[in-house]
Structure 1
Amino acid sequence: MTIDEAARAYLGTPWRHLGRSTTGLDCIGLVLLAARDNGHALPDPAPYAREPQGTALLEGILAHAVRVPTVEPGDVLLFRMGLYGGHVGIASTHPAWRAPACIHAYAPHRRVVEQPMEGELAAALIGAFRLTE
């Protein structure tokens, strides 16, 4: 199973700040669980604020992943919230659309969703990262 396939199993899970189970997930929780389900043991950075705290999220990602120039399914995506990276998702190819997409626990949708990489989502993308552990 790939990380994006593992993440897809959580579609529809309610959004909850600091959530780490099928009763509720935030964006970091989704990445942690999908990575775990794929054999990657990543440390949990909780607790953390709901708003970006400078470059902390980017630094946390870089401790376990490398930046990649081309996005592939399963890569961790970092998105800007204001000036800093404050949201993460998992790159995918949507099975019905066959187009680049992102699986993420997204507060405005109040659940885990898979949506096309277009519009505001694509504009907010800071970079893609591939897990090394």
Structure 2
Amino acid sequence: MSVVAEAALRAVGTRFRLHGRGADGLDCVGLVALALQAGGLRGAVPTGYALRGGHVAMLDRMLVRIVGAAESGDVLLMAVGPGQFHLGIRTAGGFVHADAGLRRVVERPGMPPWPLIGVWRMGE
């Protein structure tokens, strides 16, 4: 399993907090930043964003966009509602994401139930 996926799995159970970046809570952006940092990626993590809207340009600058099937450790971008995007990390058994409804970071089996907009991977 990838270092990124392992870091995401270690965060399972952490409480959800909008704009959260650590032990006091994580949102989907904070979860992905935490996992990617464990994989050695350094860079600015966005803050101050709203629950709806946003752009994917930062992911394109930091990671390699993948065409094809997602693998363990890949960053998933999903459309969970009109103008509402959500990030997760693919694992061997499913994906890890910060679930606002459950108020914690969880792993769900299989692929996300929402449309997948893009997949990114840390470069070699």
Is TM > 0.5 for Structure 1 vs Structure 2? Answer: yes
> What is the 5 A alignment of 1:63-78?
63-68=61-66, 69-78=68-77
Q: Does residue 49 of structure 1 match 2:47?
A: no
SS of equivalent residue, structure 1 residue 102:
strand
Is the contact made by 1:52 and 1:81 (CA closer than 8 Å) also made in structure 2? no
Q: Which residue number in structure 2 is paired with residue 2 of structure 1?
A: 3
Q: Does residue 127 of structure 1 match 2:118?
A: yes
Deviates more, 1:63-72 or 1:19-28: 63-72
CA distance in 1 between counterparts of 2:91 and 2:21 reads 21
SS of equivalent residue, structure 2 residue 59:
helix
Q: Which residue number in structure 2 is paired with residue 97 of structure 1?
A: none
The C-alpha deviation readout for 1:58-82, integer Å capped at 9, x for no partner, is 2121111222112100000000033
Between the two proteins, the alignment pairs up a number of residues equal to 122
Q: Which residue number in structure 1 is paired with residue 95 of structure 2?
A: 102
The C-alpha deviation readout for 1:9-34, integer Å capped at 9, x for no partner, is 11100000000011100000001011
Q: Which residue number in structure 2 is paired with residue 16 of structure 1?
A: 17
Provide the TM-score with structure 2 as the length reference.
Answer: 0.88
Q: Does residue 113 of structure 1 match 2:106?
A: yes
The C-alpha deviation readout for 1:69-108, integer Å capped at 9, x for no partner, is 12100000000033446100000013xxxxxx01111111
Q: Which runs of 5+ in 1 are unaligned?
A: 95-100
Q: Which residue number in structure 2 is paired with residue 62 of structure 1?
A: 60
CA distance in 2 between counterparts of 1:93 and 1:122 reads 17
Q: What RMSD over aligned residues (CA atoms) do the two structures have, in Å?
A: 1.8
4+ residue runs of structure 1 moved beyond 6 angstroms? Answer: none
Provide the TM-score with structure 1 as the length reference.
Answer: 0.83
